[in-house]
Amino acid sequence: MIENIFEIKHESTDGASRTGTLHLPHGDVQTPVFMPVGTNATVKALTKDDLEEIGFEIILANTYHLYLRPGPDIIEEAGGLHGFSGWKKNFLTDSGGFQVWSLSKLRKITEEGALFSSNIDGSRHMFTPERVVDIQSQFNSDIQMQLDVCTGWGEDKKSAIHALEITKNWLRRAKEEWIKKCDFGYKGILMPIVQGNFFEDLRIQSAEFVTEMNMPAIAIGGLSVGEPPEVFASMLDFTVNYLPREKAKYVMGIGTPDYILDAVHSGIDMFDCVLPTRNARNGSYFTRDGNLPIKQERFARDFGPVDPECNCKVCRSYSRAYLRHLFKSQEILGSMLASYHNLYFLHNMMAEIRVAISENRFEEYRTNFLKRYHSDAWKIKN
């Protein structure tokens, strides 16, 4: 029997946004939620204590990378990802399908699975939907993703149809394997992925198939893969209309305020991206007035905080001048502080979004936030 893991708390009267709670093995998660990406079971430049201090309830890890190094057997022996990393709250692990598609120069997709070469040493490996379920079960993932076939922006329809048919078949097989794992005590959930590229009829077909599979939650894949922002927003809106209201919904790979707000507007509950920490390592700080590039000369003698309205420990304790110095000097601390700030900023934004939804004013919040965020007002103020 498929258990209901998602409880809708409030649906906004001014749109499709909603708040809710995901009931997962390592604690409840309040939604909408942004999930930091910890590819190798670590969010780059941050400790697990940093993440707990900010208030995150779930983070991501990557099946492809952790399978190759250190390997699922070592992680299982350590007590799963939680025992291995020390992070005691929830883990979502992706299937590795995107990495097979994007990282491996030598790959072959068949009905059986995905044959690929390691980006570390070139060794050859096979991911089948069953094997990927087994690996993620060894990780003791709280949410594991099905193996799917990714297609990019501009893909022809024939290729998109072929990829969708394989993805559907892989989901059937993954579900069977997941049920077996649950029978032996595994508590995590398997999440299917809607595909179909940017063809509406294929999106409908995929959404209807995933709905029939009756899984605990649903992911929407194949978006944010190079398409224009307006295409992302319209296809997301379109796809959601064909998915059951009561299921938690997850869009993979979005992590900027504008994309997050678009997703919440469409009724999405979960999202993730490497961008906040990657931007941080490149010296870009989120602020309410837009992204602030700390390397600019204008900040060399600016002794104010990055964002005067932010209450994180970085903004409370360090000046723009000092943070610029760390970045220009290539000090590790610069990446650590910038990453902490950017994730704190998004976590705080998500808390504000949940309050706005509960007060039926999300669309007003979204409009006002984006108007200011895109103004780059810091250029004028400083």
Give catalytic residues, as residue numbers: 94, 272
Neighbouring C-alpha atoms within 13 Å toward the C-beta of 95: 32
The two tokens of residue 199 are 């063809």
The two tokens of residue 79 are 């007590």
Neighbouring C-alpha atoms within 13 Å toward the C-beta of 70: 13
**Long-range CB contacts (within 8 A, 24+) of 358-363:** 358/9, 358/10, 358/19, 360/12, 360/13, 360/14, 361/14, 362/12, 362/14, 362/15, 362/17, 362/264, 362/265, 363/12, 363/14, 363/15, 363/17, 363/265
Compute CA 331 distance to the chain's CA centroid, rounded to the nearest angstrom: 28
Residue with tokens 């709280």: 142
Counting DSSP H helices and E strands in the chain, the numbers are 16, 17
Q: Give Cα separations from 125 to 104, 108, 173 (angstroms).
A: 11, 11, 19
Picking from 54, 146, 63, the residue whose alpha carbon sits closest to that of residue 99 is 63
CB distance 20 to 6 below 8 Å: yes
Q: Containing H/E element for 176?
A: helix 157-183
Residue with tokens 């979960």: 270
Per-residue DSSP letter, 145: E
Give the amino acid at 193: I
Residue 28 CB neighbour total at 10 angstroms: 15
**Secondary structure class of 93 (helix, strand, coil):** strand
Neighbouring C-alpha atoms within 13 Å toward the C-beta of 61: 29
